[in-house]
Structure 1
Amino acid sequence: MRNGFLAFDRALRVFSAVAQVHPLSLTGWNGSTLWRDAYGPLVDDLVFFADDIFGGQFCIREDRIFLLDPETAVLELMAESLDGWAERVLEDTSYLTGQRLAHEWRTSFGPIELTQRLLPKLPFVTGGRFELENLYACDAVEGMRFRGELARQIQALPDGTPIRFVFRDEPE
């Protein structure tokens, strides 16, 4: 009934299917130069349609629904269909969307902007905690670009490998 929406204290953001290219439309969000290029081939065959409060990307690959971890680019199978995905989200809204922390954020700081997500100060993959003290509101595109670089740099490392952050002004 809606063409894009926010739900659960803005923890779930479903992109609009409008034909125009806008960062929060399916066409805009899936554009190759908005943020996807920061991930390179890690996201080539995925179509993104929604995200959680932390920028975890819900996507479609071969008619199945996955969740892409933005820090590692690891895919988790969520469901065999959009209906199955919606059922899972409704069964465990807090975990799958981050609603509890989105609510705590809104109570403490006000609602995040439509174009923002909550990112960890210390990335979750490096031990950052899912707590307000470790979060900040960030432009969603900027956050995806940063974490795309992180995912590419750590993708081949075994768990537990010490890492050093390398920041560049421009993508390779």
Structure 2
Amino acid sequence: MPVFLEQILSVCSNDLSLSKGITLPSDFHHYPLIEDLTTLLNERNGFYGFESALHFFPLETDGEEIGVIDWNDNTLWIDCYDDLARNAIFFAEDVFGGQFCIKEDGIYSFDPETGSVDYLAPDINEWCKTILEDYEVLTGYPLANAWQKKHGLIPAGYRLVPKIPFVVGGQYVLDNLYLEKSTVAMKARANIALQIRDIPDGSNIKIRLIGSDK
């Protein structure tokens, strides 16, 4: 097993699904790194790390624990971003619902409030190294830890979402966070991303939130 993959699995939970002998669907296979994902899922079929701040999807959905196949169904939330979230395989997320995904040339992070992507690593082993080196920032561990000490465990299928979006100055503090179902949160933040996608940096913006009259 690649060294950094072994290291990250040593500090994460047991499998979220007991299925083994995993083969990903054929439409995933045009991504060069898909074998990396297959290898990892056969070693550990989904897991939580850093007190649930890092959530790595299992292959298939089991109850409230959504699987990577369903999570990448375009009709679930990806289409809500228009073209911003396409051409990627989303396999993990941080505590705020920020996504990690495979693209043609490596592993990227995906900001759910802007739809922007940032390159992180050339493969999953190096992504594990990157996470281990900077897990507090990349997973949101400090706030995950603090929130759960105050409110209890984060349930399967939920993430901590900002009341005031981070992209418009919402703070990374407990009072600005609430528990939301992952799919609901992604759809709501897609609405934000599409509103600001063509606005130049530094411009004044007014965001209309879903279900808001403001």
TM-score by length of 1: 0.92
Tell me the residue number matched to 1:82.
124
2:44 corresponds to 1:2:
yes
Tell me the residue number matched to 1:123.
165
Separation (CA, whole Å) in 2 of partners of 1:66 and 1:56: 11
Structure 1 consecutive aligned stretches of length 4 or more whose deviation exceeds 6 Å: none
C-alpha displacement of 1:162:
1.9
2:69 corresponds to 1:51:
no
Structure 1 residue ranges without an equivalent (≥5): none
Separation (CA, whole Å) in 2 of partners of 1:114 and 1:23: 6
The one-letter code of the counterpart of 1:36 is I
Larger radius of gyration: 2
The one-letter code of the counterpart of 2:69 is T
2:114 alignment partner, SS class: coil
The one-letter code of the counterpart of 1:71 is E
| CA RMSD in angstroms, aligned pairs only | 1.8
Structure 2 residue ranges without an equivalent (≥5): 1-42
2:95 corresponds to 1:95:
no
TM-score by length of 2: 0.75
Identity of matched residues, %: 41
Tell me the residue number matched to 2:155.
113
1:164 alignment partner, SS class: coil
Please identify which structure carries the higher strand content: 1
Map 1:1-172 onto structure 2 (within 5 A).
1-18=43-60, 24-167=66-209
**Greater relative CO, 1 or 2 (CA 8 Å, sep 6+):** 1
C-alpha displacement of 1:168:
5.0
1:78 alignment partner, SS class: strand
Q: Give the paired residue count.
A: 169
